[in-house]
Amino acid sequence: MNVPGYRDVPTEPWDPAAPADPGEAEDFLRQCYTENPRLGPVEPRLAIVRAQIAATGTYVHTTEELAYGAKLAWRNASRCIGRLYWRSLVVLDRRRARTADEIFSLLVNHLQTAGAGQIRPVISVFAAAQPGQPFARVWNEQLIRYAGYRGSDGCPVGDGRLEEFTAAMRGFGWRGKNDQFDVLPLAIETPSEGVRLYELPERAIREVPLTHPEYGWFAELGLRWHAVPAISNMRLTIGGVHYPLAPFNGWYLGTEIGARNLADTDRYDMLPVVADRMGLDTSRESTLWRDRALVELNRAVLHSFELAGVKMSDHHTESQRFLKHIANEEKAGRRVPADWTWIVPPMSGGITPVFHRYYDEADLRPAFYLDEEASERARGGCPVRRTH
């Protein structure tokens, strides 16, 4: 499952004071009811929705509309390679939750539901934004992320890209362990309570220790990664209604961990370490030591998740499945928006079948959009008023 990072995902201007667009509402409802004939005729429903928008500036999705709209948003996600499974999304309707305690409890439930047994794709949809009214949100980019610090020697410890967010959390009273894999607290904001911090319990955090199928020394590196990649700072838009808090997860594509999270120089930067333990010649780039270390790091990730019984896909298999998704959609007469730069995996791209073709880029709705304000908070500006 191709999980986006907060700096590189689609954004869309949004005026929280604006009412729902009746035209967008009608487009979604006609699509929803056409693709789900069991829901009955759409015209009576359209009449109700038009009346609700005229009276309140917005309308309320039925449980069925919400569930299908969330699945369509995944189907439309141009930067996700794992869309073959869009119908399997588990949609949890959490629109009644209001307090930070309620939201936190349901987020823990989300992680447990998604991470139990084989990883399941899950989305928890909280209350919709009302025109001109404040709304609940989570400032974290993912429900589980590791902290980033600077050691006494100035060297990075943990996830380097999360240093500013970590410093902000510590400034508001959170005390981490200065560990390489220190899970950050959740910063949950509600209109009535401001922002409160919550420590995730161990039962919500499923982690996989990383070992290598051949190199015994790999375990000595002490690497691990969490099993559920749950994006939490993207807004779900369905038929003109916006859901600012709608965390969702799939399962990891191996390269997301092995070729990005652990390999990027501003993250864990493990390639020089692995190359050194392998005894590779790192004196010049032409020895391709980075490439060789990258392959073994990714082998370790895939091996470890398989050994732990945690669902994960490799980039070759998922590339083939994406082409199957395209074939399914074309057979159904639907376009498949795709961003080549995201669909092609970050290693061995040229030998995967998704590399050798062009794709349509389109902003189809329902959709997920980056919450730019939450993104800014994730870079270190979160105004926490209370610590829990």
Other C-beta atoms closer than 10 Å to the C-beta of 309 total 10
Residue pLDDT, tens place only, 29-63: 999 999 999 999 999 999 999 999 999 999 999 99
**CA 217 to CA 372: how far, in whole Å?**
42
Strand pairing partners for 230? 249
Residue pLDDT, tens place only, 62-119: 999 999 999 999 999 999 999 999 999 999 999 999 999 999 999 999 999 999 888 9
**Taking the model in full, what pTM does it have?**
0.94
| Residue 186 amino acid letter | L
Decide: 366 and 2 in contact? Cβ < 8 Å: no
Look-up of token digits 């980039």: 315
pLDDT at 381: 54
**CA 93 to CA 152: how far, in whole Å?**
46
Active site residues: 80, 83, 251, 256
Residue pLDDT, tens place only, 311-352: 999 999 999 999 999 999 999 999 999 999 999 999 999 999
Residue pLDDT, tens place only, 261-301: 999 999 999 999 999 999 999 999 999 999 999 999 999 99
**Alpha-carbon 52 to chain mean position:** 32
Other C-beta atoms closer than 10 Å to the C-beta of 113 total 16
Q: Where are the domains of the chain?
A: 57-339+367-381
Decide: 184 and 162 in contact? Cβ < 8 Å: yes
The Cα diameter of the chain in Å comes to 71
Give residues with Cβ within 8 angstroms of 37, minimum separation 6. none
Instruction: Classify each residue of 194-221 as buried b or exposed e, where b means 16 or more C-beta atoms within 10 Å of its C-beta.
Output: ebbbbebeeebbbbbebbbeebeebeeb
Percent of the chain with pLDDT over 70: 94
Predicted confidence band at 152 (pLDDT cuts at 50, 70, 90)?
confident
**CA 220 to CA 87: how far, in whole Å?**
41
Instruction: Judge if the upstream peptide bond of residue 272 is cis by omega within 30 degrees of 0.
Output: no
String of DSSP letters for 187-230: EEEETTTEEEEEPPPGGG--EEE---SS-GGGGGG--EEES--E
Decide: 212 and 222 in contact? Cβ < 8 Å: no
